[in-house]
Structure 1
Amino acid sequence: MVQKNRTAHFSRYITFTRDEWAQLRASTPMPLTEEDLVKLHGINEQVSLSEVDEIYLPLSRLLNLYVDATRNLYLASSRFLGHLEEKVPYIIGIAGSVAVGKSTTARIIQALLERWPSHPRVDLVTTDGFLYPNHVLEERGLMNRKGFPESYDVRSLIRFLADVKSGKPAVSAPVYSHLTYDIVPGEYKVVEHPDIVIVEGLNVLQTGGTTTTKPQLFVSDFFDFTIYVDAEEHQIKQWYIERFQKLRETAFRKRESYFQRYSLLSEEEAISTASHIWDTVNAVNLRENILPTRARAQLILTKGPHHAVQLARLRKL
């Protein structure tokens, strides 16, 4: 059992080193193979089985305990009220910067959680599908602010989460294409009777400014557990540049790619362009909107080089 020093200083979090966190796996079996990981990691992330073993298996065990505890609380409440309502899905929110690896984190967590027998139906939804279509962003002068809070149809996202949380049998979410850089017309992801829903996005923990005295509803109000994937900004910038270079050699070369023009850049030009985009767009969004929400997360996973998690900070109950 991991023994933590709780008297050193006051904190809302218990901090675990990588080794301490890995001990919390206990006897949780490894359900993934190297072949599975190839399908799960991002374009510039090579997640190893040891990373899953030491970081994500303990996390899946923790989440499984939380899901079961929430289900028991729901059953106790139902007994008290004298009736049993529709099953309410457990919703996990995952936030973090562009290029920090939150999408890979979400996919690995989904793959692990759906292998637990008590909750086999695990859906993953990204908030990219709730971005306004490009023609709307262009009309509002927001194309250079894509990914910022104002570029999302927050009302539709909240309506989606409210429907999921209310136990509706089938709820649809719009689909976004990173290749065409736009919402796919007429295409939807349907979430049906899920046990768990993972919602991944840049600003899912944001509350925004209060402009009215009326109560406000936020995306995070629907979450049962929240995770923030963290790293030093200089490291995230490097990952962004590396990802841009790989996309220049792959997806950007496709005819239907919105960014096909970048495939013609030299390596030096690509690095310069990616660095400029990071400095003028993604870094601004990170500092102004994403990073300030980190302290709202129940679990903060802090990465070091090669996307390896070095610290885990779990909020005290």
Structure 2
Amino acid sequence: MSVEVDHAIALVPGIPARRALLGLAGAPAAGKSTLARSLVDGVNARLGPDTAAYVPMDGFHLSNIQLDRLGLRDRKGAPDTFDIDGYVSLLRRLRAWHGRPVYAPNFDRALDEPVAAAIVVPAATQLVVTEGNYLADSGPGWGEVRDLLDELWFVEAPAGLRERRLLERHVQGGRTEAEARAFIAASERPNAARVEATRAACGRVVRPA
């Protein structure tokens, strides 16, 4: 992990009024959020509090009300179940430093819903680590993400490990084991295959321990 933290620190501009963005792409349950938090903690431990901040893409999940309206509830987590325009707008705000905090949504797994303004990026923050499945995707809207990132890494984990994590995640979220397995087969696996096809578009591959 120290090597990855070194690479993240190298992105910190070190100049006031500038901010860098590091993106982490990867299949569902590959360990993206865990790595993002570890990177932020590592950078802040070495360069000082609030030097780095974590902003996940998952805050831009469409609400369950909107998914039901669109008939997409059973595909939650697919590219078209996110507010990609909202996410891109946030990345632009983060890059356009203006001396004020930036508020961002987060995703509450207990509620299974996004929560507005749950995250604050302090004005002094110089590196934002953001992560999500489709940061390297080239579909409508998603291609704009890469242009806003200083670096994009791919987080990789064995499929068996990822699916065990997903099963545990969905059961803890309220699904029965049978329901969780059905959702993984119908939604998570196709999403993972789409994400894994974007691996070559990333500049670095990371395999968390």
Instruction: Give the TM interval when normalised to the shorter protein.
Output: 0.7 to 0.9
**Amino acid in the other structure paired with 1:109:** L
Tell me, in whole angstroms, the C-alpha distance in 1 between the residues paired with 2:118 and 2:7.
31
- The one of 150, 159, 163 aligned to 2:93: 163
Separation (CA, whole Å) in 2 of partners of 1:273 and 1:145 = 13
| 1:232 lines up with 2:158 in the alignment | yes
Q: Which residue of 2 aligns with 1:293?
A: 198
Name the CA shift for 1:243/1:134 in 2 (closer, same or farther; >3 Å).
closer
Question: Partner amino acid for 1:227?
Answer: W
264, 272, 281: which one aligns with 2:187: 281
1:223: Cα distance to partner? 0.8
Unpaired runs of at least 5, structure 1? 1-55, 76-85, 211-215, 253-258, 309-317
**Aligned ranges 1:247-266 → 2 under 5 Å:** 247=172, 252=173, 259=174, 262=175, 265=176
Q: Within 5 Å, which residues of 2 pair with 1:8-157? A: 56-67=1-12, 71=13, 87-117=17-47, 120-157=50-87
CA contact (8 A) 2:19 2:127 kept: yes
> Structure 1 66/124 Cα, relative in aligned 2: closer, same or farther at 3 Å?
closer
Task: Return the alpha-carbon distance in structure 2 between the equivalents of residues 296 and 119 of structure 1.
Answer: 32
**8 A contact 2:50–2:122 mirrored in 1:** no
Structure 2 match to 1:50: none
Contact 1:119 1:196 in 2 (8 A): no
TM-score (normalised: structure 2) = 0.88
Counterpart-to-counterpart distance in 2, 1:244 and 1:217: 29
Larger relative contact order (CA 8 Å, sep ≥ 6): 2
Alignment RMSD, CA only?
A: 2.4
Distance 1:229 1:182 in 2: 24
Tell me the matched-pair count.
207
Residues in 2 aligned to 1:131 and 1:242: alpha-carbon distance in whole angstroms: 20
Q: Percent identity?
A: 23
- CA spacing shift, 1:64–1:183, aligned 2, 3 Å: closer
**How much does 1:209 deviate?**
5.2
2:110 corresponds to which residue? 179
Q: Provide the rounded CA distance (Å) in 2 between the counterparts of 1:152 and 1:198.
A: 19
**TM-score, normalization by structure 1:** 0.60
Contact preservation (8 Å) 1:119, 1:195: no
Deviation at 1:175, TM superposition (A): 2.8
Q: Is the 8 A contact 2:53 2:128 kept in 1?
A: yes
Deviation sequence 1:199-250 (CA, Å, 0-9, x none): 111111212159xxxxx961121111122111232332233234445x2xxx
Cα deviation, residue 105, structure 1 = 0.8
Q: How far off its partner does 1:66 sit?
A: 3.7
SS at match of 2:197: helix
Q: Tell me if structure 2 keeps the 8 A contact 1:114–1:121.
A: yes
Q: Identify if the C-alpha distance between structure 1 residues 244 and 188 changes in structure 2 by more than 3 Å, giving closer, same or farther.
A: closer
